[in-house]
Amino acid sequence: MIFLRQSGEVRTVIICLERNAFLENTSSRAKRDLLQRQLMKAASEPGNTRLILEALSTYVDWKEQFPEEYKNSSYFERIEGTAFYYEMVTGLYSGYPDQVNSNNLDKALALLATRNDVYIQHGLIKESYTVSSFACVLLDRLEENWKERLMGDSEATPIEMLSRHFKDETLPAPRQLTQADIDAVAEEIQKPDINRGMPLVFQAFYDMLF
Apex 197 CA angle, 55 and 204, nearest 5:
50
The pLDDT score that the predictor gives to residue 197 is: 42
In a domain, 15, yes or no: no
pTM: 0.83
Residues 6 or more apart in contact with residue 87 via CB below 8 angstroms: 200, 201, 204
> What angle do helix axes 81-95 and 105-112 make, rounded to 10 degrees?
110
Residue 128 carries which side chain, given as an amino acid letter? S
Per 3-state DSSP, what percentage of the chain is helix, strand, and coil (rounded to 5)? Answer: 65, 5, 30
The pLDDT score that the predictor gives to residue 118 is: 86
In a domain, 169, yes or no: yes
In a domain, 6, yes or no: no
| DSSP string for 111-131 | HHTT-HHHH---SHHHHHHHH
- For residue 36, the enclosing domain spans 25-209
Mean pLDDT, 10 residues at a time, over the chain (210 residues)?
Answer: 42 45 91 98 97 98 96 94 95 91 94 90 95 97 94 93 96 95 92 54 50
Distance CA 54, CA 138 (A): 13
In a domain, 19, yes or no: no
In three-state secondary structure terms, 157 is: coil
> Considering its fold, how many domains does the chain have in total?
1
Q: Rounded to 5 degrees, what are φ and ψ at 12?
A: -105, 125
Distance CA 167, CA 189 (A): 33
Residue 160 carries which side chain, given as an amino acid letter? E
In a domain, 8, yes or no: no
Apex 66 CA angle, 33 and 6, nearest 5:
100
In a domain, 17, yes or no: no
In a domain, 7, yes or no: no
Which helix H or strand E contains 171, and what residues bound it? Answer: none
Of the candidates 36, 64, 56, 201, which has an alpha carbon nearest to the alpha carbon of residue 142? 56
In a domain, 5, yes or no: no
Distance CA 140, CA 85 (A): 11
